[in-house]
A and B are shown apart, each in its own frame.
Chain A
Amino acid sequence: MGGCASLPSLGEPVNDAPRRAALLHACQRPQATEVVFRTLIHWPGREVSLTEVVKMTPEGGFRAAGITDIGSTLYAVQVAPNGASRVLSKSLPFSDRWLLDGLVAELLIPWQRPHEASQGTPNASARVGEPQLYRQSDGTWTLVHHAGNDLHLFIFDADGNWKEVRRLSGGHLRYRASLEWDGEPIPKIIRVNNPGNHYRAVRERVSLQ
């Protein structure tokens, strides 16, 4: 999928409140308060490995940091419960926005799940206020969530397991992440493709509290 792709085909809109509720229930926000990931980032012709730590604050926000293999801090950020984020420290040759909208947003995917207020108008057949649940011909399901100018697509397999998330802005794909689960509340592996920033990232969960 390219970075300037139009909206993906979501399939048929489905007015199935029990199904929608079941999918929402299946991906409730995890109670994990501290998670460590091993991350490998690929750009064309170069790669960087690091360790990333996410800690949830008692107020419902987050603090996160990236650390190099030799122990130095690459970045440290804070995300308020309302989603406002800021960089506390950074030794990366990128802007704060690049970091917050890219690496950090992708790092927090396991906590950025759809909620009951999910709604949107992703295609002409949908109307605001209708349940934004879609079904593909292969049996997969998609929940659509509008967040400002962004569109979040939460994609589930036919059994209702959350397997992918896509974030689009203005019709452009910001990132696409596939999730591999092993029974824990945080995915075992998260694979991200960020075409706008020209990188792919693989996060492997190292520890979970």
Chain B
Amino acid sequence: MVLLSLLALGTGRAASGASAKEQAGSLPPSELLRRLRESRAPYHTFATRFVQRKHLAILDVELQSEGMIFFRRPGSVRYEIVAPVRSLMTYDGKKVQCYTFTEGAWKLLNNPAATAIGQVLRQIGRWIQGDFDRDRKMFDIDVVPADNYAGCIRLTPRSEALTKYIRRVEIYVEKAPEYRVTRVIIRESEVDLTDMRFRQELRNPSIPEGTFSAPEASNACVGIFPPVDRPDPNESPTRSGAAGRPPS
């Protein structure tokens, strides 16, 4: 369920005409969700890089990984971790494939969780299109104010069974005119969380051949992102650490 974090793709940069008044505060929940959905409508493909930090309180460690996500309508997804280890999940609209890079080569896994992963990837596809409707069966969705953001969308599991694994997902949306999600926090417990920050989102990029089925497309996928010659705004101090004081 941590892939809920990929919702970030569904709320990327938006060509918004938000007013100055709206920029000063949070949008009403339904309005923010509507704008997110509408903002995605003009785009057929998306790609973004991300940095993921997993904090495990019992070990007092923070594991960091870097990756990228590609999407093409109606629902193809590539979710790839590129460092410090490499792994890949793809969904081409029909088939889910999981890979790991081990001992110098990609290995296709016969993953017993492939069916569940496929469900999650399809869910991601809906989110990428700004579609939260089906999630209302599993989650309570609300929007709360967050400093320096247009708002924070919170998904809280309805069932106790799901709450055992995930307490809440928090999606932080930048203020207008961007309406861009730059951070997603997945809280497994009161102390354990996964914090994802997104950067270099590309809208309507040309998708390399094999992106949604082949690990060999990895280099081509990395290649579509421009070199980072200056710090991403998402990595600035005002957007890091306790950015916006995530609501408790």
Contacts and interface: CB of A to CB of B under 8 A. Distances in A.
B56 interface: yes
A71 B54 contact: yes
Given A46-B111, A206-B84, A55 B61 contact: yes
Interface string A100-143: 00000000000000000000000000000000000000000000
Given A51-B63, A70-B2, A63 B102 contact: no
A88 interface: yes
Contacts of B247: none
Contacts of A206: 84-85
Given A46-B111, A65-B59, A91-B165, A71 B186 contact: yes
A28 B87 CA distance: 34
Nearest to B102: A40
A110 B22 CA distance: 58
A55 B85 contact: no
A76 interface: yes
A53 B100 contact: no
A48 B110 CA distance: 8
A93 B186 CA distance: 23
Contacts of B44: none
A49 B89 CA distance: 12
| Chain B interface residue bracket vs A | 20 to 34
B185 to A, nearest CB: 11
B112 A46 contact: yes
Contacts of A157: none
A207 B84 contact: yes
Interface in A41-71: 45-49, 51, 53, 55, 63-65, 67-71
A85 interface: no
B107 interface: yes
B20 interface: no
Interface residues of A, number: 31
Nearest to B194: A71
B56 A48 contact: no
B192 interface: yes
A69 B107 contact: no
A204 interface: yes
A34 B61 contact: yes
B60 interface: yes
A72 B165 contact: yes
Given A69-B87, A70-B2, A38 B109 contact: no
Main secondary structure of the interface of A (DSSP, over half): strand
Contacts of B113: 48
B102 A73 contact: no
B103 interface: yes
A78 interface: yes
Contacts of B112: 46, 48
Contacts of B89: 69-70
A118 to B, nearest CB: 30
B170 interface: no
A32 interface: no
B103 A204 contact: yes
B58 interface: yes
A14 interface: no
Interface in B1-53: 1-3, 5, 52
Which 9 A/B pairs are nearest by Cβ-Cβ distance?
A49-B100, A71-B2, A69-B87, A71-B194, A47-B109, A38-B85, A72-B2, A46-B112, A70-B2
Given A53-B61, A69-B100, 18 more contacts: A38-B102, A40-B107, A47-B109, A49-B102, A65-B58, A65-B59, A67-B54, A69-B89, A69-B98, A70-B79, A70-B89, A71-B5, A71-B52, A72-B194, A73-B56, A76-B59, A189-B103, A204-B102
Interface of B: 1-3, 5, 52, 54, 56, 58-61, 63, 79, 81, 84-85, 87, 89, 98, 100, 102-103, 107, 109-113, 165-166, 186, 188, 192, 194
